[in-house]
């Protein structure tokens, strides 16, 4: 059975955004059962864990003798097992893969730059100086994506694929802002459409349930 690692608890600002949500969602879409191995900040620093995840991050996916790190690679690995996540034709599969990489490279890097400033460094002078430029660069990328989504419900072939799964989890990182609802409502509607899928709801519920069960008294 496939096994993924996940944190047993994270602070509220990160709950629902931890990257194990991506393979969880993909597995739910594919109808593939999985097990979860819970870790904490101490265990991911151990040498044994670093042999599985060189950067000490979550998640790790194990499928038999295969061990993977990087959530995008996990989603593509799972997608190869499911027609729900990748089209049958090779051209369609290639286009979906392109958008997985675009989500992680062309969009998430800019999204994460803003999140790092807003969530961890908002009170620092350098962050206040840097934020306008970061926001401008992000808006340019979101405008490009918004234009692509004109008259489209999904990124490619008018159907949900692994690409939409990854892109949605990237755009959800912006939930601390009003960018999608205010400036790019088409993208906001796109995210809501993907979040409405039963498989997403099951994946999110599974992640959040553990956080609620392990919440420290000071955070409850």
Domain of 15, CATH number, reads: 3.40.30.10
Token pair in block for residue 133: 């430029």
Q: Which domain holds residue 50?
A: 2-83+199-219
Per the rule left: phi > 0, alpha: psi between -120 and 50, beta: everything else, 151 is left
Number of domains in the chain: 2
Q: Is there a single domain that holds both residue 122 and residue 62?
A: no
**pLDDT of the residue at 24:** 98
Burial tier of 88 (Cβ tally within 10 Å: 0-12, 13-18, 19+): exposed
Residues 43 and 118 both lie in one domain? no
Which pLDDT belongs to residue 209? 97
H helix or E strand, kind and range, residue 174? none
d(CA 42, CA 187): 37
Question: 97 and 72, same structural domain?
Answer: no
148 and 214 share one domain: no
Residues 36 and 120 in one domain: no
pLDDT of residue 152: 96
Distance separating alpha carbons of residues 169 and 41, to the nearest angstrom? 22
Q: Give the model's pLDDT for residue 217.
A: 77
First to last CA, the chain: 33
Are 68 and 139 contained in the same domain? Answer: no
Dig out the tokens for 2 from the structure. 């496939």
Q: Give the C-alpha separation, 61 to 203, whole Å.
A: 15
Let me know whether 170 and 120 are in one domain. yes
pLDDT at 218: 65
Residue 147 to residue 149: CA distance in whole angstroms = 5
Examine the domain organization and report whether 125 and 168 are in the same domain.
yes
Shared domain check, 152 and 140: yes
183 and 204 housed in the same domain: no
Examine the domain organization and report whether 56 and 95 are in the same domain. Answer: no
Tens of pLDDT along the chain (220 residues) come to 999 999 999 999 999 999 999 999 999 999 999 999 999 999 999 999 999 999 999 999 999 999 999 999 999 999 999 999 999 999 999 999 999 999 999 999 999 999 999 999 999 999 999 999 999 999 999 999 999 999 999 999 899 999 999 999 999 999 999 999 999 999 999 999 999 999 999 999 999 999 999 999 765 5
CATH code where residue 180 lies: 1.20.1050.10
* Range 118-143 burial, b when 16+ CB lie within 10 A, else e: beeeeeeeeeeebbeebbeebbebbe
Same domain, 105 and 143: yes
């Amino acid at each position: 059975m496939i096994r993924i690692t996940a944190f047993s608890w994270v602070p509220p600002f990160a709950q629902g955004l931890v990257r194990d949500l991506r393979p969880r969602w993909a597995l739910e879409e594919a109808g593939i059962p999985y097990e979860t191995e819970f870790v904490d900040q101490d265990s991911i620093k151990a040498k044994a864990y670093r042999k599985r995840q060189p950067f000490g991050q979550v998640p790790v996916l194990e499928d038999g003798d295969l061990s993977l790190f990087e959530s995008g690679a996990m989603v593509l690995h799972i997608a190869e097992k499911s027609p729900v996540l990748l089209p049958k034709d090779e051209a369609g599969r290639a286009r979906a893969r392109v958008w997985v990489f675009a989500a992680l490279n062309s969009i998430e890097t800019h999204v994460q730059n803003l999140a790092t400033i807003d969530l961890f460094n908002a009170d620092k002078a350098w962050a206040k100086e840097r934020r306008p430029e970061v926001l401008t660069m992000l808006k340019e990328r979101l405008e490009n994506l918004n234009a692509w989504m004109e008259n489209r419900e999904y990124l490619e072939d008018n159907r949900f694929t692994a690409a939409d799964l990854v892109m949605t989890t990237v755009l959800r990182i912006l939930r601390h802002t009003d960018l999608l609802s205010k400036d790019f409502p088409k993208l906001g509607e796109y995210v809501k459409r993907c979040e409405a899928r039963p498989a997403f709801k099951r994946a999110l519920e599974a992640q959040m349930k553990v956080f609620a069960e392990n919440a420290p008294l000071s955070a409850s």
